[in-house]
Amino acid sequence: MTTNISFSDFDCYKVAPVSFSSPCACPSRPSFCKSFPRPRSSLEFNRLRFVLHGQKGLLRISKSSSLARRHIVAVAHAEPDRIDGKEPEEEVEGGQQLSFQEDPISEQQHKKNQLKKRIVFGLGIGITGGIIVMAGGWLFTVAVAACIFVGAREYFELVRSRGITAGMTPPPRYVSRICSVICALMPILCLYFGQLDVTTTFSAFILAITLLLQRGSPRFSQLSSAIFGLFYVGYLPCFWVKLRCGLAVPAINTEIGARWPFLLGGQAHWTVGLVATLISMSGIIAADTYAFLGGKAFGKTPLTNISPKKTWEGTIMGLGGCIATSVILSKILCWPSSMISAIAFGFLNFLGSVFGDLTESMIKRDAGVKDSGSLIPGHGGLLDRVDSYIFSGALAYSFIKAFMPLYGV
């Protein structure tokens, strides 16, 4: 980060005579170096760290490399080379690279701006998602399909990243696009047919044929990464459609449904699927929030090497927040009626949230990237925002369909 300084301020440092050094990479742009006395205080140093462009002049000073010497040396160019309209990140003086550090104040301001973006876009996504969940039906299904398509594209970009391709052969781009389209169609077919077995089997068959008939030599790594993508970003998210739209039994004990406007569907709008989806998603949000706050306040013990920032203390706080949210909402919405089932439901939602997050962290770690994309400002890619939901929908639906009727919880 650089700051500007006037030539009147510049004169107070008694610039030494200009001494010409070796020319820069561009012979038509000679470089020269200027020597300054070592600043007596940090204030003087801050006044010296500046960049003046073009005819105004240019100076760039590095704190890390300057204070170790008696003089501060800055490499200046009459017309500095630009790459895509950006200033060069580093200068070379005498064959030695000079690194530049950001001003701590500017770095703090950048973090505040990122936090503001994260909060604003997070609230926007939460409100929009709540409206879509309440609407249900085709609107919810199309929204899930759109998220799946974007998530599938981000997944295959991660698979094609340099960190993963160093040890495997990724699927061709046209195969990745075909798989992304198939994944996006799966929730729509799930809503129409009501089942996933035929849809998944047929999709895997089409994908395998496409890979096996490609030009060149098909590789097993291509098939395995494509089939996993079909399962990870296609099959698993479809359970949210089965949960929200498939469990259409009215939640007759829910008092909110009795007062729900007739124009918005009346009491019949409040189904077990809607109540279960609201509780599940609210529990996941609570788990992420409490885990983040708990990790910041008490986090000391790392949870796993996959994600070094996650701690056991934050995980325990997230578990408590998820279960508490499930129990509170079960009392408000009068479903499920048993305390045991509410606790178990919250525990399963937490497990799905944590392992969905860790799975995506493992993929990004192998890919060597921080975020899966840059679609959402302050949050990264779409997968970074919805990774906690990928496994949770399948666990919630399986628990309601398999365990609650069987054990009466």
- Confidence at residue 104, expressed as pLDDT on a 0 to 100 scale: 63
Q: Whose structure tokens read 């044929």?
A: 209
Cα separation, 369 vs 360, in Å, equals: 11
- Token couple for 193: 């047919």
- Confidence at residue 249, expressed as pLDDT on a 0 to 100 scale: 87
* Contacts made by residues 174-179, CB under 8 angstroms, sequence distance 24+: 175/207, 175/210, 175/211, 175/214, 175/222, 175/226, 176/226, 176/229, 178/206, 178/207, 178/210, 179/152, 179/207, 179/226, 179/229, 179/230, 179/234
- Confidence at residue 11, expressed as pLDDT on a 0 to 100 scale: 44
Nearest CA among 106, 105, 2 for reference residue 52: 2
Percentage with pLDDT > 90 across the chain: 42
Cα separation, 180 vs 79, in Å, equals: 47
- Confidence at residue 255, expressed as pLDDT on a 0 to 100 scale: 81
State the 10-residue block means of pLDDT for the chain, 409 residues long: 43 42 42 45 44 41 41 39 43 41 67 77 87 93 96 93 84 91 93 85 90 85 92 95 91 83 83 94 95 91 89 95 96 90 95 94 90 80 92 94 73
CB 75 within 8 A of CB 91: yes
- Token couple for 387: 């990774």
CB 71 within 8 A of CB 35: yes
- Confidence at residue 73, expressed as pLDDT on a 0 to 100 scale: 36
pLDDT digits (tens, 9 = 90+) for 88-128: 444 333 444 444 454 666 777 777 777 777 788 778 888 99
**Which amino acid, one-letter code, is at 152?**
A
